[in-house]
Structure 1
Amino acid sequence: MRSLSLVGTTFGCSASGERLVSAARDGDFQEAKALLEYNPRLAKYTTFSCRNSPLHHSAAQGHHEIVSLLIESGVDINLKNYRGQTALMQACQYGHWEVVLTLVLFKANIHKTDCLNGGTALHLAALNGHSCCIRILLADYIPSIPTFYKLVKKRSRIEEFVSESSEGTSLYEIINRPADGGVTALHMAALNGHVDSLCLLLDLGASMNVVTLEDGTTIDLIGAGSTPLHYAAYGGNPHCCQILTAWGASLTAENEKGWSPLEVARLWNREWLEEVLSAHEQQQTMTLPSPYLSLPLMSVVKIARECGWTGGSVSNCTDPCAVCLENKCTVAASGCLHELCTRCALYLCSNSNTSSAPHAPSGSIPCPLCRHSIVSFKKLTTTKPLLQPPLKQNSSLSCCSCSSMPRTNTQITQETIPLSKPKPASQSLRSQKFLSLKLENNLCTRGTDTIASIVRRSNLQKYSRSSFRWSNAQLKGRRPWLCSSNRSLDSPDVY
C-alpha cells in the first residue's frame, strides 16, 4: 500500500507539473500563480525526457513575469537541461532581453557552459546578434565611469577599473573566453554578419588576434588558426570586414591551412570582398562607439538588487515617477539629478540605443526628461534596502511527496513587476487578488489532478502528452552552432 501511495503521489504531482509547464509556455500568469500558491515545490518540476523545467519554457518564450514568479518560488536559477543549457542561455538565444534582465538581477551565473559546444550565454547572444542581451549580461563588469570607452580604446589595463566577480573573472576574460575549438563571441558575430554585436564586443575589449584551435571536437571548414577576420570573410559581410580592419585586424594573417582572409573569401566565392580585403596598405579609420554601450547599467542594477525594482505604490507618495506615474522615485540621474523609479531606470539603460549629445561620454544614456547625458544613477536617501533574506537556490524536483508537506492556510502572494512599458490598468495582473485556499495535503495521493476547480482548463486540451516529447521535425530543425539560420524565432521550441 505504501508503494501504491507513492506512485499516486508521483503521478498527481507530475500532472500538476505538466500543467505548470503548459502555463509557462503559454504565458498564462494567472494559472501559473494559482498552481504555485497551491504547491510552491512545483516550480522545481522537470520533465523526464529532456529535464526542461517551467523556467526553461518561460525563458525560451520570453515570459519574464512568470520567470520572476518561478524564481521567487525557489527554483534553481542555474538548472541545466540535457543539452547543458540554462534558462539564461535560452533567453539569450532567442533575444528575450527582459528575461535576461530578470535573471541577471537574480544573479544568474553567466559563466555556465553547455554540454555540446562549451559555449556560454554570451556566445549564444553573439551568434544570433542580440546586442541588447550582450549589454545586460555584462552589466556587472562595465563600470559606470565616463572614461570607460577611452580606456578600452587605448587598450589600457581596463581590468583595474572593472568590477570582478567572486571568482575574480575580469571583463577581458569573459569577452574573449573561447568555446570548443577556440571560437570566441567575436568569431560568432563576425561569421553571421551581426554588425551591432560586433561593434559592441570590440568596444568592450574583444581581441581580434584570438585564433581558433584544432581540438577534434568542432568541424571547422575555415581551419584552425583563423582570426575573426577570417570568419567575417567566410560570412561575406563587407561591413564586418571593414570594421575589423579599422580596428587593426591583420589582412595578411594566415591560418594553419595557409589561407589569408582574402583567400578565404575567394575560396567561398565572396567576390564583393576583393576590394575590402586586398588593400596593399592597411588604413586606420576612425571608429565610432556602439550605440548599445550602456554605462549607467551597473549602477542601477546594484540599486535594484539592494532595494528592489518596484519602488512602492504611487498611492503612498506625493511625487511619483514622471515617466510611468506608477511607482515612487528611488534613483536620481547623475548631472541633471532628475528622479526616476528603479524600474524605469532599468528599462532606459537596457533598451536605449542613442547617445544624448556629440560631446557626451561614450556609452551615456539620454535623460528622458531633459536629454542630458547620464553616466550613472544614485540611490535617493529615502530609498531603503530590502529586509527580506536572500533567495535559496534548490536542486530540481524529480518526484515530490506532497503528503509530507506541512498543512497551512496562509495566503502566498507573489508580486511581479513587468520590465517593459506599462500596460493599461485593465490588462494588468498585478492588481488581481487570489483567494487563499484550504486544501488537504493528502489529496495528491489519489493520482488525479487535485486542483481542477481553481485552474482554468481552457488551454489544457491543446497539449497532449506527446507534445512534450521530441519529434523528427524538431530534431531536424536544430540550429547549428556556428551559422545561424534565417528561420523565424517568434515561436521557439524548447528542446
Structure 2
Amino acid sequence: MGNSFGCSASGERLVSAARDGDLVEAKMLLDCNPCLAKYSTFGGLNSPLHFAAAKSHNEIVALLLENGADVNSRNYCGQTALMQACRYGHWEVVQTLLLFKCNVTRADYLSGRTALHFAAVNGHVRCIRLVVADFVPSAPFDSINGQSNGDGSDASNIKSKYDQSALSKFVNKAADGGITALHMAALNGYFDCVQLLLDLHANVSAATFHYGTSMDLIGAGSTPLHYAACGGNLKCCQILLARGASRMTLNCNGWLPLDVARMWGRHWLEPLLAPDSDSTIPMFPPSNYLSLPLMSVLNIARAYGLQSSITCSDDAEICAVCLERACTVAAEGCGHELCVRCALYLCSTSNIPSLLLGPPGSIPCPLCRHGIISFVKLSGSPAKEIKLHLSLSLCTPCMLHSREAVRSTPTSTSDIRKNRVASVSPDFFCPVTCSPFPSVALPLCTCSEGLCPTCEPHEVATQEESPNRSQPASGDQNKMERVRLEKASCSSMFWGRRSCSREHQCNSEINA
C-alpha cells in the first residue's frame, strides 16, 4: 500500500536516507514528492519513520512528520516509531514524537507490548520518564489537595484520583502472559527503572498469568520479586521489598522468590530473600527521574512550538541558558524565565535529587536551584510572533489524508491542562493478546562491582548447563531442576517461532 504513493526507487532512496541520516537527500526527495513520507518497504516491514526513529535521526523524524507521515504508523509487527525509539533509548526522538502527539498507549501485534515495555526491558529510564509525561500532572497531588478549600476541595480530590487511576492503569498495562514493565525492569536488573516505575504507582504484587507465554522458567503467578530473584540484582530486590513486596508469595509452581534465586544460582540473594531473613533493608528516596514540570512545558511546546532563533523585539529577555532564543516560559515559584527549548531539555534530562528543593519530582532551576514544579507561558509575546521551528511545527496534514476531523487542537494552555488525560481513551487499555512475549537476555551476574565470587562465567548458548552448582541434592530439587532444563532446551524461552521470525524480519531490515 505504501509503495503506491510514489516511485519505488524514490521510496527506497528515502528509506536509505532515513537509515543513514542523510538529511539533505531526505529533504530533496520529500520536496519532490511529500507523499513519499508514507512509503514503506516491500512487504510493509518498516516505514522511513521507523528507520529514522530506530537510528536516532531526530531531524529526519521531524521532517517526515511535517510531510504527512503518520506518527502512529505500524510496521509488520504492529510496532510504532515510538516503540522503536524506546527500544534503543533515543529519548530525543521520543520527545519529538510526543510533541507531534503520538499515542503512547498502543500495543504491538506480537505480544501486546507498549512503548513502556520496550523502554523498561532495556533500561532506558529517560524514555520511561517521557512516555508517562501526559499522565503526571505538573503539580504534586498533595499540594493540589492542600491548596484547595471549600467546594473546590472535592473536585480537586476527584481530579487527583482520576489522574492517579489513569497513570496506574497505563504503567500496569500487562503484555502477553501478564508481564508488566516492572517485571521486565526487575528481571534485567535496572534498579533505576524499577524505582521510577514504583514511584509511578506500578503494582509491586502484579502476577503473571497462567495463559500466554510468560517466562516458563519461572512460572505463572510470579511477581516482580520472582523476576528480580532470577535476574540476580540485589538492589532491585531491596527496592521491591522496601516498597511492599512479599518474600512469602508462591507462584503457580509453588516456588518462593528464594527458590527462584537458588535455581538460577543467585546465592548472594539468599540472606535477603529467606522467609525468616533479618537483613536490613535500606530506605530508598523517590526516584531522581521523576519530573513534575514536564507535562506543562511539553504542552506549551505543542501549542506554540520551539523558537529556533531570536524573533522578538529588542526589549525581549534572552534565555540565560542558551543565550540564543527569547524567553517564552517562566518557572512557577522563583519566576525565572527560559526559552521553551531549554526548559524542555531541562525537564527531560535532569536527575538531581529534589528532596531539598521541593516535592519529589521538582526540577532545580538552573539559575537559583529553586524546585520547579510547573512552567507557565509568558504573556508578553503574542503567539503569532513565535515561529514554529521546522522540527516542531505541529501536524500539517497531508492534503490527501486530512485528519482534522479526528484531531482536536487545544486553544490554550489551560485547556491542555484540563484535558491532559481526557485524550487517553479507556479502549486502549485492552486485555493482553494471545501472542507470546519477546525474548529477554538474562544476565548471569548483575553485580555492580563485577562478577560475584561464587558466580562463574557461563556461555549463553549452553543453556542446558545448570547455573546452580552448589545446591544439596534432593528429590524435589532434582525434579525442579529437570523441569527447568527441559524448558531451557527449547529454541526460545519466551516466544514462539512464528513471532520470532516476524520480529526478526523487521529488526534485521533496520539493522542491515
TM-score (norm 1): 0.73
Query: Aligned in 2, Cα 1:160/1:85: closer, same or farther, shift over 3 Å?
Result: same
Aligned mates of 1:317, 1:394 — CA distance in 2:
38
SS of the aligned residue for 1:161 comes to: helix
Structure-to-structure mapping, 1:132-281, within 5 angstroms: 132-147=126-141, 160-161=159-160, 170-278=166-274, 280=276
In structure 1, which of residues 456, 460, 481 is the aligned counterpart of residue 439 of structure 2?
481
Structure 1: state its 5+ residue gaps.
Answer: 1-8, 152-156, 397-478
Aligned mates of 2:323, 2:161 — CA distance in 1:
35
Contact 1:314 1:325 (8 Å CA) reproduced: no
**1:16 aligned onto 2:10:** yes
Query: Aligned in 2, Cα 1:317/1:25: closer, same or farther, shift over 3 Å?
Result: farther
Aligned mates of 1:304, 1:197 — CA distance in 2:
26
Aligned mates of 1:492, 1:361 — CA distance in 2:
45
**1:115 aligned onto 2:109:** yes
Query: Aligned in 2, Cα 1:150/1:492: closer, same or farther, shift over 3 Å?
Result: farther
Structure 2: state its 5+ residue gaps.
Answer: 146-155, 388-392, 402-436, 445-459, 461-506
TM-score (norm 2): 0.71
Contact 2:231 2:442 (8 Å CA) reproduced: no
State the partner residue of 2:510. Answer: 494
State the partner residue of 1:296. Answer: 293
Contact 1:59 1:87 (8 Å CA) reproduced: yes
Amino acid of the residue matched to residue 245 of structure 1? L
Aligned mates of 1:30, 1:485 — CA distance in 2:
42
Give CA deviations for 1:137-159 in whole Å, capped at 9, x if unaligned: 011110111446999xxxxx998
Amino acid of the residue matched to residue 330 of structure 2? A
Aligned mates of 1:394, 1:232 — CA distance in 2:
50
Query: Aligned in 2, Cα 1:380/1:221: closer, same or farther, shift over 3 Å?
Result: same
Structure-to-structure mapping, 1:286-365, within 5 angstroms: 286-310=283-307, 313=310, 316-318=313-315, 319-355=317-353, 358-365=356-363
Identify which range, 29-38 or 191-200, moves more after superposition.
29-38
State the partner residue of 1:476. Answer: none
Aligned mates of 1:334, 1:126 — CA distance in 2:
31
Contact 1:77 1:393 (8 Å CA) reproduced: no
- In the TM superposition, what is the alpha-carbon distance from 1:311 to its structure 2 partner? 6.5
Contact 1:229 1:244 (8 Å CA) reproduced: yes
Bigger relative contact order, structure 1 or 2 (CA pairs below 8 A, ≥6 apart): 1
Contact 2:129 2:291 (8 Å CA) reproduced: yes
- In the TM superposition, what is the alpha-carbon distance from 1:218 to its structure 2 partner? 3.9
Contact 2:139 2:292 (8 Å CA) reproduced: yes
Aligned mates of 1:357, 1:210 — CA distance in 2:
29
Amino acid of the residue matched to residue 96 of structure 2? T
State the partner residue of 1:106. Answer: 100
**1:35 aligned onto 2:29:** yes
Aligned mates of 1:248, 1:158 — CA distance in 2:
25
Contact 1:79 1:86 (8 Å CA) reproduced: yes
- In the TM superposition, what is the alpha-carbon distance from 1:116 to its structure 2 partner? 1.3
Aligned mates of 1:482, 1:99 — CA distance in 2:
24
Contact 1:332 1:338 (8 Å CA) reproduced: yes
**1:392 aligned onto 2:397:** yes
Aligned mates of 1:484, 1:50 — CA distance in 2:
31
SS of the aligned residue for 2:195 comes to: helix
Give CA deviations for 1:446-487 in whole Å, capped at 9, x if unaligned: xxxxxxxxxxxxxxxxxxxxxxxxxxxxxxxxx953337899
Q: Percent identity at matched positions? A: 56
State the partner residue of 2:64. Answer: 70
Aligned mates of 1:91, 1:23 — CA distance in 2:
17
State the partner residue of 1:376. Answer: 374
Count the aligned residue pairs: 394
Contact 1:292 1:353 (8 Å CA) reproduced: yes
Query: Aligned in 2, Cα 1:183/1:35: closer, same or farther, shift over 3 Å?
Result: same
Aligned mates of 2:157, 2:263 — CA distance in 1:
39
Query: Aligned in 2, Cα 1:95/1:306: closer, same or farther, shift over 3 Å?
Result: same
Contact 2:302 2:394 (8 Å CA) reproduced: no
Give CA deviations for 1:33-81 in whole Å, capped at 9, x if unaligned: 1111111111111001343111000000011111111101011111111
Contact 2:123 2:193 (8 Å CA) reproduced: yes
Aligned mates of 1:106, 1:163 — CA distance in 2:
25
- In the TM superposition, what is the alpha-carbon distance from 1:276 to its structure 2 partner? 1.2
Contact 2:120 2:182 (8 Å CA) reproduced: yes
**1:126 aligned onto 2:123:** no
